[in-house]
Structure formats: C-alpha cells, structure tokens
Amino acid sequence: MRKVKVGITGIFLLISGLLMAQNVNRTPQGVKVNVAEGNFNAEVIFYSPSIVRIVKYPSVKDQMPDKESLSVTLVPEQTKIDFKEQGDDVRLKTSDMIVTLNKTDGTVRFTDTKNNELLAEKGTPSFYPNKGKADKGTYKVRQAFMLEKEEAIYGLGILQNGKMSQRNQRKYLMPGNVEDGITFFQSVKGYGLFWDNYSPTNFADDENETSFESEVGDCTDYYFMYGGDADGVVAQMRTLTGQVPMFPLWTYGYWQSKERYKSQNEVLGVLNKYRELQIPLDGIVQDWQYWGSNYLWNAMEFLDGNYYNPQQMLDEIHAKNAHMIITIWSSFGPQTKPYKELNEKGLLFNFRTWPLAGTDTWPPREDYLSGVRVYDAYSPVARDIYWKHLTRLYDLGMDGWWMDSTEPDHLDAKPEDFDTPTYLGSFRKVRSAYPLMAVGGVYDHQRATTSDKRVFILTRSGFAGQQRYGCNVWSGDIVSTWESLRKQIPAGLNFTLTGNPNFNSDIGGFFLGHYNKGWNDGSATKNPSYQELYVRWVQFGAFNPMMRSHGTEAPREIYQFGKKGEPIYDAIEKAIRLRYSLLPYIYSTSWQVTNKQSSFMRALMMDFADDKKVWDMNDEYMFGKSILVAPIVEAQYTPEVAATASEETGWDRDDNKNKSKGSMTVDFTTKKTAKVYLPAGTVWYDFWTNEKYDGGQEISRETTIDMIPLYVRAGSIVPIGPDVQYATEKNWDNLELKVYAGANGSFTLYEDEFDNYNYESGAYTEIPMTWNNASRTLTIGARKGKYNGMLEKRQFTVKTVDGNSKTVTYTGKKVTVKL
C-alpha cells in the first residue's frame, strides 16, 4: 500500500472538513447548519417549491425556538429538493428556485433555476439581548440584504409617503391611524420577502443595504417567495398567509357615512332621501356614541335614547333594500358589561386610549378621565367575550362591522406601556399583530355562527394575513387636501401588493376644518374649493374595492352639495351610477381575487413590468385587468388649500387661522386638460369616446368636472350592468358586453347567491367569454356550475368600439357572435 504524507496544513483541513460536515444536518424540509464563526444556527425550511423559510438563532439554543406564527397558515408540504454541498456552500434546488447557504458565514442567497440572482443577504444576523424584564431572554433582531441599484420594491403596508417604489426609505413599521406598516416587500424581479415578526420594526433602505430590525424576537425569521411577477408574488403571499373570502355583492355598491349620525330618525332620513332622489345606495354606517356617554364607550348596545327602537330601524333599512354596519372598538368604558367581564379576568390593558375624557368636551378634561381600556385581543377567552357581547347587535340583523381603532389607539405612549403583559407575551412583542387578532376574532366567531351571511368588516388597521378575515382596510383619519388625495393612490396600491386586496379611504378626507368657516357648521360643502376636491375623490373612490363617503366637520350626502342639474351634484351622481354600471365587472373581478389570487387595484408594474416608465408611477393604476384609471389629483378650477389638521393627534380643532377666506365664483362647466400616460405593450381605448391610442406615450386628455380619465386595454370584454337603485334590484338578464378589439382577450362572468358561503361548496356559475380578434368573433362559452335562483335564460347585447352591435339569447350553451 502506498503511504501518503499528510502535513500539518492537510491535517487541519481534514479535521475542519469533518467538523464542517458534522455541522450540516439534513432535515425533512431542508437543512440546518451550525455557523461556528457567527455563533448561530441557520435553518432553511421549504414550505413549497416556491416558498422557503429562513430561521437563524443563537447557538446557545440548540433547537429552533418554538414559535407559532400568527400570520402564516400554510403547513409545509413535501417538497422535492436537490441537495448538494459545493465547497463552503450548501445548495438546495427545487423546481422553482435555488437557495444557497454559506456554511462559513451563514449568509443565504436566492436565485431562479437559471441561476439569475434574485436576492442575497448582507452579513450575519444581529442578536442584541433585551435587558427589560418584560422581554427577558429575547433579542433585538436584525438582518440586512443586498438589492440591485435600479431594483424597485413595493409593499410595506398603507403608507402616506406618496411613493410607489419604496427604495431609499426609512419606516418604523407597526399599525397606526393613517399608516399600517407591514413587514413585507416584493420586487419588480418577481420575488417577495415576509419578515415574520410582530414587534415594532425598522425598515431601512439606502445605497448600501436593505434591512429589517425588530425590537423583540427569539430569532430572525423570514419567508422568501418566488412568483415570477407581481401577481405570482401576491399569490404566494396568500398561499402562505391565507386566501381572500368573497364579500356580498351589496358591499360593492355605494356607502354613505359621516361622523356621525346621531339618531334613528337621522339614519332613516338619509336613506329615505337617497331613495326619494333615486340615487343608488347600498350601505349606511352608524358611527360612535350610539351607546351614550364615554363611560359607556363601546357598550355594543343602543343606549342613547335617540335610537328608540333599534330593531325597527334595522327592519326598515332592510325593507328599503339597504344595509347597515356599525362601529365597534377595541376598548370599553368602565360602566359597560364587556368591561366588567373582561376586567374580572384580567383581560384589559392599562395604557391611555381614546377617548381620554368621560365628557365630550375639547380639549379633554384630565379631571374627568373616561376610564376606557383596551382589551387583550391576543387572548382566545377575551375574543370569546367580545363576540358574546357583540351578538346583541348581530341578533338585531346588523349586516357588518366597522372595527375602528384596531391598532389600537395608544395615547401618549410610554416605553413601559409596551411592557404590558398579554396572552402572548409583552405588548411590545406582539404589537403589530393586534389588528390581525382583533379582526380575526370577529370573523372566526361569525363564521362559526352561520354560513348563510358573509362576514364584512371595515377596519382602520391591518397586518400580514388579515386578507383572510373578510375585511376591507381604510387609510384612517386623513386630512382633506389634494396632497392627501394624491397619497391614497400609492397607499392603496402598496397595500394591495402585500397580498391585501381590499382598500378604501374616506372619500373627501376625514378632517376638513380648513374648508369650513366654523367648526362643524357644514359650510365646506358649499365651498367651491372643497366641492372640487370632493368630486375628484368620489371619482377615485368609484375605483376602489369599497366606495364610501365619510368624514367629520360637515355632512357628505350628495344633497349637501347642491341639487340635480348643478355641476357638482351631477358629477357626484355620475360617479355613483358609473360604479353601479360596473358591478358585473367588479363582482366577477372579486371572484378572480378569491379564486385566482388576483387584485382589484393593480399598480401598473403588475401588468406592464417591461415598461420601466411605470415602475414608480404613483398616480395611475389598473382596476381589474381591463380598466386603466387616471384620477384627477390636482386642482383645476380652484386653488389648492394647505392642511392644518393633524392626522396623528387628530381632532385639532384650532384651525381658524387657515380657513378658506371669502367666497369665490367658479365656473365648473369649463373644460380643462390632464396628462395621462398609457403603458407600452398594448393598444388603449378611451372609455368615454372609444378613441384609440397606441401605448407607450403620454397624451393630453380634455377633462370636465364630471369625468375621470379611463382607458380600456385592447382585447378586453367589459360587462355593463343595469341602471339600479341598489346592487341586487335587477337581475343581470340583459347585460351589455363591450368588446375592445385590437387583441385577443377573455373574461369570465361570475354569479352566485350574492350573500352566503354556498360558493365554497360549488354553488356558483361561470360564463367564459373569449374574443378572437382575427375573426372578430366573440364566443360565449357553455355555462359552468349552478346555484339556486340562477338565470336559466338571458340576453347579451354585444357591442364593439367601432359601433357594431348584436343581441343574442343565451341559455347556458355555447353561442358564437360574429361582428
């Protein structure tokens, strides 16, 4: 046998190699590596071929911390992994991506299956021990990443920074009134990253790195997902954290609200006035203090005598084919039944919350504190108690819930407040998950009660995974300014890109004191400056998943702005009727959101990623996959007015010095112009005129006060519904199908029973439609599925943009229309 000489270096390398091999352990879903140099363990855990979890924790803990994710619902599926060690690297390849873990420094990088780099970690994780008693044994945790210089990223929740791409930003992420920070972003390169931590988290991006740093954690814990494009990433995020249930059809109609209706007679009077004026309306909202004083805050009962017969009120609302939702909060006054039961079990927090005073005076009187306290929504017992008391309203026939202050409100926050113990640890540890738990508690309890009525929740705050709880999140108590209107577009789009498709804002803005002559005198609705802003906000709201007018200091009903035949009134009416005409399109889109993981509000990069001009475009978007919306977001007829009200502190009523001064005469009948960019890669048609344009250019569009620029992409099939007073007034038995020639296209018309969960067991129909541009033929395919009450026979009037029209009878069998 030949003798082999091994030098000192060779022996060292041999021993190091053996030790290194011992530090790499295969697991059923991936690999675990002890990184000796960094004194931490790193685990790669595949949940699917396109979703992988990366967990790192100090070596003093031999096993991964036992952590139950509050956002993630996906159970790891068996995934085929090609495992290979190459030098210092452990390479794990699935059918969708490659994850490479460096055994020496523990860094991870992600590539597609063709080795194109997607994302790479920068450096090792940081674990700084928390010294406070409340979070003893935990760490402040941080991980940095490297992005390409020109790479655009999106998400991070509802932000009021007005930006589409979130590069070069620093944000303190947690739920708030007007901003909801979500620890998720996705890239134009087709990947997403969810940092699974619920404590307050700093996100930072600059030319050197991109990082998440959270105040409390047992480990760094994040999910990387590869979807190929923005829709794919949204789909992966929902696969990871939960799918979107269907809302009732009526929720997509028009909603009227204000701060606040003060009596049963006022509520019914508003509904009656809309029906008298024949303005479509489906929802009306009851805001706070129907319970009486602040000491009875959120009693979940009508204790104010002005609501003399709540059951009669709900019955009359329903008899007039409308629906009501009512505000409920995360806190309770000391004289309420829920407070007493929760307090007995130690399920109330002690930090200061809204309302501070027991009297409804301004400023709040510290000598008459309200005693209102927030409940521990992290506790399953507390959530049971919450629903138990909420059933008093549910049993009246209430149609949904306006869950306000689900951040929750936290006034004059002190560091020690975050030490407050909850069912799941310190408040600091789980701070960001509060809205997820509060909203989820109501959804789960109602679902357990009945499947005959879909859950609908309007709420002020959201977090990752909340899309699974039947909620629409609005952007909080924003101010009434043009700048604020402009910010709502990227706010809604970035929220959508976190996987949460349901967004809306207070149409007209919440605080408008600078448009009023005096506090709460309603003068703003007669102020031309505010009238113009309000109309443009209504037009934008018509292309949100929820169209809801709301605010303080002035009522917002259409008749407050004038009367029929006047430009402002007519413009508001036109926007509302436009919304109702698109209900078949909107409801079919809602099915695509639920069934195909699509989105309502679509940043232009979702559909036109090859056009770099749209990567950072923050004032246009697609509504569904056919309609481009370009809201007018700058004043054309009146001067813009600067904001004075505070979004964060709220209720700043001392704004006399900045009122709109004097009166002005404005001719709202004159024509103006606006610039619109049409993305490259398709032909576009003006929704109003059918005029045809090539994409990849900016055009100048003549505008009027009653018109919002809308463009439809070639190949689209857009169903137009009947003229109605409420969403379900008329069957869709004679729909107009508008066909936009110039490219092949398809559309699926979806219908079901409109307000129960029978669709989950297959009680729905789909009618597929395809347009062949070469043969100019629309094929209406055979109907799929069935449900009780479905239309057996109907007509479709098919119209093309060049004026051709044919009406056909459809009985569920394939029909071909040549145009």
Residue 103 CA to residue 93 CA, distance in Å, equals 16
Q: What tokens appear for 327 in the block?
A: 């505000």
* 477 noted as active-site residue: yes
Dmax (CA) of the chain: 107
DSSP calls for 457-470: EEES---TTGGGGS
Q: Which helix (H) or strand (E) holds 655?
A: none
Q: Given the structure tokens 């479905």, which residue do they identify? A: 790
Helix axes 380-394, 337-344, angle to 10 degrees: 160
Catalytic residue among 404, 620, 655, 753: 404
Q: Which of 213, 407, 607, 620 is catalytic?
A: 407
Buried b (16+ CB within 10 A) or exposed e, 277-288: eebbbbbbbbbb
774: exposed, middle or buried (Cβ count in 10 Å: 0-12, 13-18, 19+):
exposed
The Cα–Cα gap between 64 and 235 comes to 28
Q: At what angle do helices 583-596 and 567-581 cross, to 10 degrees?
A: 50
Dihedral (Cα; 127, 128, 131, 136), 10-degree rounding: 0
Catalytic, 766? Answer no
User: Who's near 12: CB < 8 A, 6+ residues apart?
Assistant: none
- What number of other Cβ atoms are within 10 A of residue 758's Cβ? 15
Classify 97 as helix, strand or coil: coil
CA-wise closest residue to 427 among 376, 462, 380? 376
Pairing between β-strand 734-739 and β-strand 24-27 as defined by DSSP bridges: unpaired
Q: 796, 794, 816: which is closest to 805 by C-alpha?
A: 796
The one-letter code for the residue type at 691 is E
Dihedral sign for Cα 622, 628, 630, 631, please.
negative
Per the CB < 8 A criterion, the answer to whether 233 and 603 are in contact is no
Q: What's the one-letter identity of residue 677?
A: Y
State the burial class of residue 410 (Cβ atoms within 10 Å of its Cβ: 0-12, 13-18, 19+).
buried
Element (H, E) at 581: helix 567-581
How far apart are alpha carbons 652 and 287 in whole angstroms?
19
**Is 667 tagged catalytic?**
no
| Number of helices followed by number of strands (H, E) in the chain | 13, 46
Exposed e or buried b for every residue in 157-177, given b needs 16+ CB within 10 A? Answer: bbbbeebbbbbebebebbbbb
Q: Of residues 196, 205, 477, 506, which has the active-site annotation?
A: 477
In whole angstroms, how far apart are CA 659 and each of 15, 281, 514, 555, 643? 79, 32, 4, 18, 10
Contacts of 813 (CB under 8 A, 6+ apart): 782, 783
For residue 348, the cross-strand partners are 375
Task: Spell out the residues 6+ positions from residue 722 whose beta carbon is closer than 8 angstroms to its own.
Answer: 729, 730, 732, 734, 735
Which residues partner with 686 through β-bridges? 711
Radius of gyration of the chain (CA): 28
Residues designated catalytic = 404, 407, 477
